[in-house]
Chain A
Amino acid sequence: MSISVRNLSKHYDKQKAVDSISFEAKPGRILGFLGPNGAGKSTTMRMLTGYLKPTSGEAEIVSKNIITHALEVKNHIGYLPENTPLYTDMYVKEFLSFVGQTYQLKNLSKRIAEVIELVGLTPEQHKKIGMLSKGYRQRVGLAQAIIHNPDVLILDEPTSGLDPNQLVDIRALITELGRNKTVIISTHIMQEVEAICDDIIIINKGKIVASDSLMGIKKANNDSPLEDIFRKFTV
């Protein structure tokens, strides 16, 4: 298991943003995190990546505890935060080289050229990040998440705000990356889930209300469309 989460909770005063969730994710599969806004998807991802501290519970990534081995765990995770925050005053290559240095990568310039090629940033690679369109910024965000070839990829709404052509490209890229990594993505788009996810977890009000493979969840609900299944669990 490359990700295993047990009874993870995050409380803000009395509000339970994430309420004792447990799940596992396997290598080579893409796990879709679904749920209405404010359900606790981002909070869960932020705890796994070490940005937020869990109130209780524990999680292991590549068999290492996320609290006691925080730095090692971070070396194995590639993370794209919600809304893709980036240093807009930096050039694309400069930024990727900065990220690569925080991971202490060797042969950095070769690796930068590789990821630029991989995410399709080649035509824009000499620009400042602030000058890029939303779609290209998203690619920079993905590039910085995969630059150290992590075992686990955590992508928080990686396709929000992209046009249909970019959607197809980014999804293809995620599917490609998912072949040998453990990928968790959060999204609101049901077609996307059907297109790329292998497993599904639906979260509502901080609790897991459904957790199954895409096939399994459809079968259990008489092959009804995913929108209806989503509404059934979360309304």
Chain B
Amino acid sequence: MYAIFKRELFSFLSSMVAYITIGIFLLVSGLLLWFFPDTSVLDYGYAELSGFFSLVPYLFMFLIPAVTMRSFAEERKEGTYELLITKPVTLWQIVSAKYLACLVLMLFSLIPTLIYYYSLSKLGFPEGNIDSGAVIGSYIGLFLLGSAFISIGIFASALTKNQIIAFAVAAALCGFAFLGFDYSSQIVTMQNFETTIASLGINQHYQSISRGVLDTRDLIYFVSFCVIFLLSTKLVIEGKK
């Protein structure tokens, strides 16, 4: 399994995929956080990163599917999937190796943003006046949100040989999983179940972790979310056997 993980990660790093997506992520989040007056912390006047953390899910919604779309779609189109599955590895090992490689890539994109935290804590008055607990919680939340999006992306990539379709399906599913439940809970006829429906969505759990309180319920939600999508990936591919 380690061999497949390594191959996946190297193929991200040796192609432009990794650099372009991480570059776009850092560029857009940097611009929005520091330069554009509507969203910039400098104009906002408070040393906090909440703007950044509410923005990143929307970036991830498009950038993560762009990274994951190739994982199975390309292999099946090029026929290399046949090469891979006839090696002595299980399908589950292949799925998890691909998942982990994307996870590491996402971490690579998050690590440079620690500079934002450092800069803000320097800008705080007095220096270092920043709610570190909330920031740590938000990073954990972001990591879990990203893992959930990656599992959606891998699943979408298993559905089709066409990468564009995989991208579109993944982006739509990510959007729905993030916000769709919140919005549908507000439909009048569903008001009796409002909290139940909203708690199915990623946003609820992301917000609650972002407050700096790591609740096991949120953790279990994210872990089971990923497991369900990865298991479905396995089922979809096995069904095509």
Contact = CB atoms under 8 A, between A and B. Distances in A.
Given A87-B11, A98-B7, A102-B4, A74 B86 contact: yes
Nearest to A50: B86
A159 B78 CA distance: 19
Contacts, number: 57
B82 A102 contact: no
A103 interface: yes
Contacts of B86: 49-51, 74, 77, 79, 81
Contacts of A101: 2-3
B78 A85 contact: yes
- Name the prevailing secondary structure of the A interface residues: loop
B6, B7, B11, B241: most-surrounded residue (chain A CB, <10 A): B7
A46 interface: yes
B88 A98 contact: no
A50 B79 contact: no
A51 B82 contact: yes
Chain A's interface size range is 20 to 34
A71 interface: yes
Nearest to A87: B80
Contact of A71 (B78, B82, B88): B88
A88 B80 CA distance: 10
B88 A102 contact: yes
A32 B165 CA distance: 40
- Interchain residue pairs A-B with the least CB separation, the first 9: A85-B79, A101-B3, A74-B88, A102-B87, A53-B241, A49-B86, A85-B80, A81-B82, A75-B88
26 contacts: A46-B82, A49-B86, A50-B86, A51-B241, A52-B241, A71-B89, A71-B90, A72-B88, A74-B88, A77-B86, A79-B83, A81-B79, A81-B82, A83-B79, A85-B82, A85-B83, A87-B7, A87-B11, A87-B80, A89-B11, A90-B7, A101-B3, A102-B3, A102-B4, A102-B88, A102-B89
